[in-house]
Structure 1
Amino acid sequence: MDGVKSFTSSNRKIDPSRRRATQHLMPDGSPVDPDRIEIGPTDVAFAEWEALGLTAPNLERMRETRLNRIVSELNKRDLGGVLLFDPLNIRYACDSSNMHLWITHNPARAVFVGADGYMVLWDYKRCEHLSSYLPLIRETRSGAGMFYFVAGDREDEIAATFAAEVDDLMRVHAGRNRRVAVDKMELHGAFALQALGLEISSGQAVMEHARLIKSADEIDAMRCAIATCEIAMAEMEEACRPGIAETELWSILHKENIARGGEWIETRILSSGPRTNPWFQEAGPRRLVAGDLLAFDTDLIGPYGMCCDMSRTWFVGDGEPTAEQKRVFRDAHEHIMTNMQLLKPGVTFSELTHLAKPLQDEYNAQRYGVLAHGVGLCDEFPSIYYPEDFIEGASDYPLEPGMVLCVEVYCGVVGGRDGVKLEDQVLITETSFENLSSYPFDAKLLGR
């Protein structure tokens, strides 16, 4: 579809350039406060969602549900608590965000959640005010940073001090249970916990399973974020003309996401023409040429921190795609549409691997890493592999209502000029599935 100016969602249309000049209201009826502490959607986003008939999430209820799911996982696994350093796990546990990407490689924040639901946040120094509006956080401290950049040659001492605080919390909130889950931590921090007699297990497993089922509010948040992503995609497609550079086109997705209160984009995978084959080339200075294919993967973290992971491939210019471009595109489209039909409660992750439509031999050597994966605040568990990449016993769990998966494919012949990447985001319902993605596929490439 060349030059899309609107997209369809819930059988309604909205012009992505629409702006509302009047003050909009928050979901609770209060005015949007430009001075509010928490990050979040803008009045532009609220106006667009209202026009689409979308419901904003109840954030208090969403946060409580997430905490309850963590506590349930801890008790199910007989763990006294979980210690979190991964910024996405911290966001899930308490909905607090602070310099998210910087903290990813400078782990100065941590959260402890006890099996009794007691939550402590260690934030970056003098940042206590950033989480003052979150009542589920019972204490805010500092001092979790024990990496060399901040701790220097005293990292072992700082780690020991931090570990002692965790030990105290475990004694108060877990009693005799000395089992604590940890997702990601500096090695000397883990050694300090063990030196105090704490038994460490996988916090990532706890959190991935807690995050697996999305609540109604999380689904509402995801619908809103996807709408924002698709509005941004429409702006990209409007600009997808011969002569524009890949980086210039990619910047539009960033701009429109940020303007609506979205947060960041995890990758920059966008390529054109011969750069579409093989896959995974990031946006560069190449300028689009008439007759190219343009392919991208959004990997977008939108409003409410929800991931919108969709891929599209577009034909560039006013001409007609080649027969080969159409053939590869149709093969890719049929692949994800066929595999999507397998999604329903009760089907196991491993069964999906073996039931899925196989790729044609000519595409197999350059197959994508997964044929589907979970999604929430980011790409999440599970990974549904092709049979050639299957890991026996890694994912023997069934699909359940409330799970969200991205179904995707890359088709590119080895040595060929063009490749096609397609991906949709799908909700598992009580009986089947609902495709949350509404952005159309390129009509010219489909031959329509």
Structure 2
Amino acid sequence: MLEETPRHTSRLLNMAVPMQDTAPRQAVPIDPGILARMEKIDQTALLRYRLQRLRAELRKRDYAGAVLFDPMNLRYATGTRNMAVWTAHAPSRYAFVATDGPVILFEFTSSRHVTDGSPIVDEVRPCTPWIYFLAGARTEEKAHLWADEIDSLLRQYGGSNRRLAVDRCDPLGAMRLQSHGVQLFDVQEAVEQARMVKSAEEIACVQSAIEVCDLAVGRMRQALVPGITENQLWSLLHETNIAHGGEWIECRLLASGPRTNPWFQESGNRVIEAGDIVGFDTDLVGPFGYLADISRSWICPDRKPSDRQKRLYDLATEQVLFNMELLRPGLTFREFAEKSWSVPDEYVPNRYMMMLHGCGFVDEYPSIAYVADWQDWGYDGVFAENMVVSVESYLGEVGGPDGIKLEQQVVIGAEGARVLSKTPLIDALAT
């Protein structure tokens, strides 16, 4: 999508890459140190911890088991990955996790070999999808077959307990299960509570994702010169991530100049100019599927930042650092909100939607609202040791020429928050 003013259009055309570019393409450089550290992570311990956490939450709610379609929940429970982005919108592979019993993965027949060898998956069976793309006019027939098999497993491993937790269960499948007398419950609370506290192996995986992210962001910083487009700059995040075993980027959040205010403009073909603010939010799903979620704002070289830009940057930095200092185990979400940095009135209308959110495979529980928004959507809870969270800030006045987006990812330890990223936060606006 092209959202350029006329004065940018000719520059875009002049910068366009020829349709037949025959220049040799060099391989994306790889950092062997990052790969070596990834190899040391005990994947079996990682998988067993996650399954134990999930089962404890299912048991706490008296669920006989869970059926999981969501790729994030599948990854957490089974340690397997197969076409995650596609199955996010075409739910067709799934797992049955007995609270006391086996983990059974239902996989595409033609790709069962892809997920062989998991130390926690007890059995792999062919899936029975009933989405219209794969079942067509036979959707009702397939939903019947699917529900019959799930009901059989529930009877075998749940006994008289007919309480089954599910995440994504289309109406036809849900109705068929209910016709068997199965009681359906939303599994997401149990899964989010399980995912909230990370093991040492999980934190090591997050750190690997952050290392890849830092490397990519460093390459972006080097490439930032007047004349590069937002999409060209943003692409460096992707290629570095993929080259190091990463998986995808959740959002297209890189913007420049006037497109940084208000926030949440998606990356486009705008040509970045000297003196522009360039802000981005990585949302990087890296190695092992874990999230590296930091935001930075830079000034494009060849023009110094204005006094106004410096003030915005200083205030955003202050907000992030102040709120990070509050974090400790035992602090309630409400206490955090009440003690948090006070956003100046002129920036309140455009402020970021939340002050903090959890991180794991993607954005996770909790999401902490401002006190002013508490009645609308805030909820309480307690921060715990080994939670990984990202602390957010966006500052830009309504109608302003640009704005500043900053975000820092931390792990909460016994003594407070420990920063995971080495990408500079303070003074990053300097040219």
Task: Name the SS of the counterpart of 2:323 in structure 1.
Answer: helix
Partner residue in 2 for 1:389: 373
Partner residue in 1 for 2:21: none
Give how far 1:156 is off: 2.0
Query: Structure 1 residues 389 and 178, CA, compared in 2 at 3 Å: closer, same or farther?
Result: same
Do residues 47 (structure 1) and 47 (structure 2) align?
A: no
Partner residue in 1 for 2:10: none
Partner residue in 2 for 1:65: 49
Q: 1:146 touches 1:186 (CA, 8 Å); kept in 2? A: no
Counterpart code for 1:164: D
How far, CA to CA, are the matches of 1:78 and 1:427 in structure 2? 31
1:370 to 354, 362, 367: 354
Unpaired runs of at least 5, structure 2: 1-26
Q: 1:55 touches 1:220 (CA, 8 Å); kept in 2? A: no
Task: Name the SS of the counterpart of 1:409 in structure 2.
Answer: strand
Do residues 401 (structure 1) and 385 (structure 2) align?
A: yes
Decide which structure has greater helix share: 2
Partner residue in 1 for 2:77: 93
The number of equivalent residue pairs is: 405
Q: How does 1:409-420 map to 2 (within 5 A)?
A: 409-420=393-404
Give how far 1:46 is off: 4.5
Q: How does 1:83-162 map to 2 (within 5 A)?
A: 83-162=67-146
Partner residue in 2 for 1:326: 310
Q: 1:242 touches 1:290 (CA, 8 Å); kept in 2? A: yes
How far, CA to CA, are the matches of 1:315 and 1:122 in structure 2? 49
Q: 2:305 touches 2:430 (CA, 8 Å); kept in 1? A: no
How far, CA to CA, are the matches of 1:393 and 1:314 in structure 2? 32
Give how far 1:444 is off: 6.0
Superimposed CA distance per residue, residues 127-171 of structure 1 (whole angstroms, 9 cap, x where no aligned partner): 110111113111112234211111222212211211111111111
Task: Name the SS of the counterpart of 2:326 in structure 1.
Answer: coil
How far, CA to CA, are the matches of 1:223 and 1:102 in structure 2? 26
TM-score of the superposed pair, with normalisation by structure 1: 0.87
- Identical aligned residues as a percent: 42
Do residues 314 (structure 1) and 277 (structure 2) align?
A: no
Q: How does 1:173-252 map to 2 (within 5 A)?
A: 173-252=157-236
- Stretch moving more, 437-446 or 87-96: 437-446
Counterpart code for 2:278: L
Give how far 1:79 is off: 0.7
Query: Structure 1 residues 92 and 54, CA, compared in 2 at 3 Å: closer, same or farther?
Result: closer
Partner residue in 2 for 1:301: 285
Give how far 1:187 is off: 1.3
Give how far 1:202 is off: 1.2
Task: Name the SS of the counterpart of 2:407 in structure 1.
Answer: strand
Give how far 1:71 is off: 0.8
2:238 to 251, 254, 260: 254
Give how far 1:54 is off: 7.7
How far, CA to CA, are the matches of 2:422 and 2:198 in structure 1? 20
Query: Structure 1 residues 388 and 406, CA, compared in 2 at 3 Å: closer, same or farther?
Result: same
Partner residue in 1 for 2:418: 434
Do residues 276 (structure 1) and 260 (structure 2) align?
A: yes
RMSD (Å) for aligned C-alpha atoms: 1.9
How far, CA to CA, are the matches of 1:265 and 1:151 in structure 2? 30
How far, CA to CA, are the matches of 1:409 and 1:198 in structure 2? 45
How far, CA to CA, are the matches of 2:149 and 2:75 in structure 1? 21
TM-score of the superposed pair, with normalisation by structure 2: 0.90
Counterpart code for 1:362: E
Partner residue in 2 for 1:32: none
How far, CA to CA, are the matches of 1:46 and 1:169 in structure 2? 45
How far, CA to CA, are the matches of 1:281 and 1:341 in structure 2? 30
Q: 2:82 touches 2:115 (CA, 8 Å); kept in 1? A: no
Task: Name the SS of the counterpart of 2:404 in structure 1.
Answer: strand
Give how far 1:358 is off: 2.0
Counterpart code for 1:307: L
Query: Structure 1 residues 426 and 444, CA, compared in 2 at 3 Å: closer, same or farther?
Result: closer
- Stretch moving more, 158-167 or 369-378: 158-167
Give how far 1:392 is off: 7.3
Counterpart code for 1:96: T
How far, CA to CA, are the matches of 2:317 and 2:39 in structure 1? 30
Counterpart code for 1:316: C
How far, CA to CA, are the matches of 2:28 and 2:105 in structure 1? 39
Superimposed CA distance per residue, residues 236-287 of structure 1 (whole angstroms, 9 cap, x where no aligned partner): 0100110000000000110011111111001111000011001111111111
Superimposed CA distance per residue, residues 288-326 of structure 1 (whole angstroms, 9 cap, x where no aligned partner): 100100000000000111100100000101331100000
How far, CA to CA, are the matches of 1:265 and 1:146 in structure 2? 29
Query: Structure 1 residues 218 and 46, CA, compared in 2 at 3 Å: closer, same or farther?
Result: farther
Query: Structure 1 residues 386 and 144, CA, compared in 2 at 3 Å: closer, same or farther?
Result: farther
